[in-house]
Chains A and B, each alone.
Chain A
Amino acid sequence: MSLTLFEGSEAIAEAAIAAGLRFYAGYPMSPATELLEHLARKLPASGGTCINAATEIEGVNMAMGAAAAGFRAATGSCGQGLALMQEAIAESALNETPLVVFNMARNQQDYFQATRGGGWGDYRTIALAPKDLPEAVELTQLAFHLADLYRVPVIVLGDNLLARTQVSVDVGRRDFGPLPPKDWQLDGTSGGSGKSRQIWTWGAGKHNTPGPGPSVHWARIAEKFDRIAETEMRWEEGFVEDAETVVVAFGTGGKFVEHVVHDLRGQGHRIGFFRPVTLWPFPGEALERATANARRVLVFELNAGQMIDDVRLNVRDRRIVRPIGGVSFDSSGLNLGPLMDATVIRQRILDTLEGATL
Chain B
Amino acid sequence: MTLIDTRQPPEQASRKVADYKPSLLQSEEHGLCPGCGEPVAIRVVLEVIEELGLAQNNIAVLGHGCYGGFIMLLDVDSTLCLHGRAPATATGIKRMRPDTAVWTLQGDGDMVNEGLAEILHATARGENITCILLNNGVFGDTGGQMTAASVIGQRTKNSIDGRTADDHGYPIAIAELVASLQGSAYVARCSVHNAASIAQTRRCVRKAFQRQTEGQGLSLVEILTMCPTGWFVAPEAGTDYLMESLGKTYPLGEIKDRAAAPAATAE
A residues engaging B (CB < 8 A)? 22-23, 25, 49, 51, 53-55, 57-59, 61-71, 73, 87-88, 91, 95, 186-194, 196-202, 204-208, 210
Contact = CB atoms under 8 A, between A and B. Distances in A.
A67 B95 CA distance: 11
A188 B72 contact: no
B121 A62 contact: no
Given A62-B92, A65-B96, A192-B50, 17 more contacts: A58-B85, A58-B118, A61-B92, A64-B81, A88-B85, A95-B79, A186-B79, A186-B93, A187-B77, A188-B56, A191-B75, A192-B24, A194-B26, A201-B80, A206-B75, A207-B27, A208-B26
Contacts of A87: 82
B90 interface: yes
Contacts of B50: 192
Given A65-B61, A188-B57, A196 B82 contact: no
29 contacts: A22-B96, A25-B92, A51-B91, A51-B95, A58-B117, A59-B88, A61-B82, A62-B91, A65-B92, A65-B96, A66-B95, A68-B92, A69-B93, A69-B97, A91-B81, A95-B79, A186-B59, A188-B100, A189-B57, A189-B77, A191-B58, A191-B76, A192-B75, A193-B56, A194-B26, A198-B71, A202-B80, A204-B71, A208-B75
B118 A200 contact: no
A62 B88 contact: yes
Interface of B: 23-24, 26-27, 49-50, 54-59, 61, 71-82, 85, 88-93, 95-97, 100-102, 117-118, 121, 125
A69 B54 CA distance: 17
A-B complex: 9 closest residue pairs judged by Cβ atoms:
A65-B92, A66-B92, A65-B89, A61-B88, A207-B26, A61-B85, A199-B79, A54-B121, A62-B92
Contacts of B93: 65-66, 68-69, 186
Contacts of B61: 65
Given A55-B117, A188-B58, A198 B95 contact: no
User: Which of A54, A64, A65, A73: most chain B CB closer than 10 A?
Assistant: A65
Nearest to B82: A91
A202 B57 CA distance: 25
A207 B24 CA distance: 12
Nearest to A67: B92
B78 A186 contact: yes
B76 A61 contact: no
